[in-house]
Amino acid sequence: DAMVIQNPRYQVTQFGKPVTLSCSQTLNHNVMYWYQQKSSQAPKLLFHYYDKDFNNEADTPDNFQSRRPNTSFCFLDIRSPGLGDAAMYLCATSRGVEVAEQFFGPGTRLTVL
């Protein structure tokens, strides 16, 4: 089945230790998104790629970076995680044609010690 895969599902890191979260898709979608979702809140868009074009949200901290080496993969790098970065990180994809629904992965739960 075509899908969005996130690895790992659970990630524990130490305060200030860089961490990378991974997302892959078999949908061949043009657009890939990264969201941060804290407990009992709506997902908050961090950035998205339309093909190779990177689009950063204005309020996304510089601590968060992203890479998309090819159509299928996208990575979220957190350079120096703080306690406030503990959250669920969701990856999503869409076709990016006119209005298109987004398909979400299962998320990675990040814990910062």
Give the residues lining the site for another protein (CB under 8 A). 4, 6, 31, 40-43, 45, 48, 50, 88, 90, 92, 94, 96, 98-107, 109
CB nearer to another protein: pick between 9 and 17 = 9
Sequence letter at residue 106:
P
As measured in angstroms, the least distance from the Cβ of 54 to another protein is 13
Among the listed residues 81, 88, 47, the one whose alpha carbon sits nearest the alpha carbon of residue 63: 81
Alpha-carbon gap, residue 74 to 42, rounded angstroms: 22
Q: How far is the CB of 22 from another protein (least distance, A)?
A: 14
Q: How far is the CB of 7 from another protein (least distance, A)?
A: 13
